[in-house]
Each structure stands twice: as C-alpha cells, then as structure tokens.
Amino acid sequence: MNRVYIKTYGCQMNERDSEAVAAMLRAKGYALVDNEFDADTVLLNTCSVRDQAEQKAIGKAGHLAKRKRKDPNFILGIMGCMAQNRGDSLVDRLPDLDLIVGTQKFHRVPEHLDKMIATLQGQGPRPDTIIDLSEEVGSQNTIKSHSSEKKQITAFVSIMQGCNMHCSYCIVPKTRGAERARPMEAIVEEIEELASSGTREVTLLGQIVNQYGLREFPTINKKSPFVQLIEKVHEIDGIERIRFTSPHPVGFRNDLIECYGRLPKLCEYLHFPMQSGSNRILKTMRRPYTIERFRKIIEKIRAVRPDVYISTDVIVGFPDETKDDFEKTRHHFEEIGFDMAYIFKYSVRPGTTAESLGDPISKEVKEERNQILLGILSKRSLKRNEELVGTVEEVLFEGPAKKGENMFLGRTRGNRVVLVKASPRLIGQFAKVRFERATASTLFGELVLEGVEDIAVQAIT
C-alpha cells in the first residue's frame, strides 16, 4: 500500500483542500501518514501569497528531491497555489518532481498518483512529470470529501473558490481563478453529514465569503445569498457554532450585520481584514473602502453584539507607505482594538499590479512597523483575556494540548484558546470552564463540574 504524506502551507482553504485530497486518496485505498519519513509519496500543498511561503516549499521540495535520487520509487508532488502560479517552470528548477497539480485539479490527484505508481512499477524509463494546471468548470464542487476515519469536532467547509477583486498586491486571483460558488444545497448536505458524524462547529471558507453566490443566486427579502446560506446552516441540528472567513468590507451590508443579533449559533468572532488605516494606501492597494467605512461596519456589529471578538489582516511596508500613512494604521489599529491580528510585511508578487511600484520600504522599517502593531495587539489581547479571569464560559474541546500531561485544548465562542486539565472524554464536548489565569494568547482554567451529564451542553442559548 502506498503511504502518502501531505504537507500544507498557506491558508485555511489550503488546509481544507489537503483534507479533501487525503479523503479522496483514502477512499482509493491509499494510507495517509503524518510525517515524510514514513511516506512513499510526499505531496506539498503550496502557497504563493508571499515570497517567503514559496521559498519554504521550494526549499522543502529541493530537500525531498535528494531522497528521490536515492530511491527512484519515492514520489514527490507539488499541488496548490504555487503549482498554479509557477506552472511548469517549476520543473526547470526541480526536474525530479513527479506531479504538479493546480488549484482546480485537486480531485485528480488520486488518478495521477495511480498512474505514476503504475508506470514506476512497470520498470520502464522514468515517466515524465505529470502536469495538470488547466481550469475546470465546476471545480469548486470537488472540494467536499471529509475523512470518515477521524471525527472532526470542528470542520472547514469550502463554499466557493476564487476571487474577482483585484487588490493590487495579491496573487490569489491568479492562483485561484475567478469567483465560483457551490450550490447551497450541496453545502448544506455536506454540513448535515458532518453534523451526523459528530461535527459541532463549522467554518465557511472562501476568499471573499460575503460575495458568495452573488452572480449565481438571487437576493431574497433583501438577504444576500451568503446570509441565506448562514440561515440554512443555522437550522442544521448538531451544529452549534458557525464561523466564516474571510469577508471583505465591500458588501458587508446590514443583512449580514443583523445576523450577529439574531442567529445565536453565529459565533461572536469575526475575522475582518483591514489591510491599512490610510485611505491613500487603501486606494493604491485597490481596496475600495475607506477606513471610516471599515470602522462604521465594526461599530454596527458591536452595537448588535457588544462582546464580539475581532481579528484582522494588516500589511505593513506597502510601497510608498509613509510614516504618516503608518501612523494612521497604528492609530486605527489601536482605537479599534483587535483581539487577534495577522500582520504581514509586504512582499512583491510578480504579475500583480503593485509589482511596478517596486519594494522601496526597507526590511528594517517593515520589521519596526510590524513590531509596533504586534505590541499593541498583545497588550489588547492580554487585557481582553484578563477580563475573562474569574468568569465561566462554554468551551468546545478539540483535542489534547501540545504540551502538558492531561491538558486539553478548546476554544470559546470568541475563538480564545483555552487549556484545561481534563480527561480525553471531553474531546468533542462543550464544557463550562472557569478561567483562572490568562496570557495574551491563552486562557487557563478549570472545568466547572455540574455532574457529567451537564458537561455536554447541547444547545447554546
């Protein structure tokens, strides 16, 4: 039996794609392993969003290629965004690659792997690299399989693929193609199945989720297709928590804001990318909103759900980001008070419209700006966590913690990480926890024992 290890770089969509490929491979009789050393085949699911992400995967592939030279039956493949972005030029750099599979062809990985194994076993000359990068109508509908072996307490569900925005810095529209939505019924069916096998929390995934289905499905009673979808998911028994990522400020309208006031399963957590606090920079980034509009949306959400936790993405060191521009970012970042944030140092992506602006901001300045925002974030995050010490909240337990005997990891509805000493019986359960201690990233607590039955809270009110 061929044993496959999939290593995933990049975003949650990539994680989800890897999961789906793993499920498809298992269904075909492949064994999935969790490290490269036990594997006969290694597939790297790659990311192109920043240069560093590409370099990491190229470095790894170069390293694995050495093993391939010693063991000709070892199979090495690159899938996902970097495969799509760099195309067959990857073979020039890494001639030992067996497979290069693009973002619209994940579902064909098992077939390509079967073919490669059969050819290698045929003892003929080394087969050419299989390169499959073309677009495929309906490919958004192929990312739907989940592992039947492992119960997934919390699951990602891809609701769409691609992006039609043209943010000037971003490679994703090139790697993922145009926006394509999956039908609502198919998504609901997938989540119903997940729920019946024990999933309690779903995160709906797309590059720009609030645009979901705008071209494919009608607006009904002033509700966008995305809001209609959330409502349908909300009705599924067994699903107790709903999250989504990422929405765009453009098209974040009242119908979606109101969901936070009326749909209790929609968690009080929102990832809401700001990118910059300077309107001048937002304009060159081709993000068609102002910081005032961005803040207005947050204000409205906080009006209907005051305890909401908000995270964001910010790019520092975008070309021509002056001291004054950064000061605006710093100011708004601090005033808004994000609970979590991913801060990225600008990286030029060949082929994007911002490429022509070069990369005039030095590494040192980018790092300095990065550190300033990180400092603000950790203060705010610590304060928010410290305010929770002494209170009790419901936590959904996902699994054992990385460190510590009998320590288990869970999350609050606000997506705060919680570590608790408990027994494995808790995995997949909701349990009440009293928080005793906090760091900026983690809450430590103790189970509130109300009798074993009471631990599993079935419904959130």
Question: Does position 173 bind ligand SF4 by CB under 6 A?
Answer: yes
Question: Does position 366 bind ligand SAH by CB under 6 A?
Answer: no
Smallest gap from residue 172 Cβ to ligand F3S (A)? 5
Question: Does position 250 bind ligand SF4 by CB under 6 A?
Answer: no
Beta bridge partners of 94: none
Segment near ligand SF4 (CB under 6 A); pick from 64-72, 170-178, 235-243, 259-267: 170-178
Smallest gap from residue 54 Cβ to ligand F3S (A)? 9
The residue (of 249 and 414) whose beta carbon lies closer to ligand SF4 is 249
Segment near ligand SF4 (CB under 6 A); pick from 140-148, 160-168, 217-225, 337-345: 160-168
Exactly one of 347, 381, 385, 415 binds ligand SAH (CB under 6 A); that residue is 347
The option from ligand SF4, ligand SAH, ligand F3S, none interacting with 173 (CB < 5 to 8 A, set by class) reads ligand SF4
> What residues from 44 to 103 belong to the interface with ligand SAH (CB under 6 A)?
49-50
The option from ligand F3S, ligand SAH, ligand SF4, none interacting with 13 (CB < 5 to 8 A, set by class) reads ligand F3S
The residue (of 104 and 207) whose beta carbon lies closer to ligand SAH is 207
CA distance 383 to 75: 49
The option from ligand SF4, ligand F3S, ligand SAH, none interacting with 157 (CB < 5 to 8 A, set by class) reads none
Exactly one of 16, 107, 146, 248 binds ligand SF4 (CB under 6 A); that residue is 248
Q: How many residues line the site for ligand SF4 (CB under 6 A)? A: 9
> What residues from 31 to 50 belong to the interface with ligand F3S (CB under 6 A)?
47-49
> What residues from 149 to 208 belong to the interface with ligand SAH (CB under 6 A)?
169-170, 172, 207-208
The residue (of 143 and 153) whose beta carbon lies closer to ligand SF4 is 143
Question: Does position 349 bind ligand SAH by CB under 6 A?
Answer: yes
The residue (of 206 and 317) whose beta carbon lies closer to ligand F3S is 206
Beta bridge partners of 310: 270
Question: Does position 313 bind ligand SAH by CB under 6 A?
Answer: yes
451 CB-near residues (< 8 Å, 6+ apart)? none
Which residues contact ligand F3S by CB under 6 A? 10-11, 13-14, 47-49, 81, 171-172, 175-176
Which residues contact ligand SF4 by CB under 6 A? 163, 165, 167, 170, 172-173, 207-208, 248
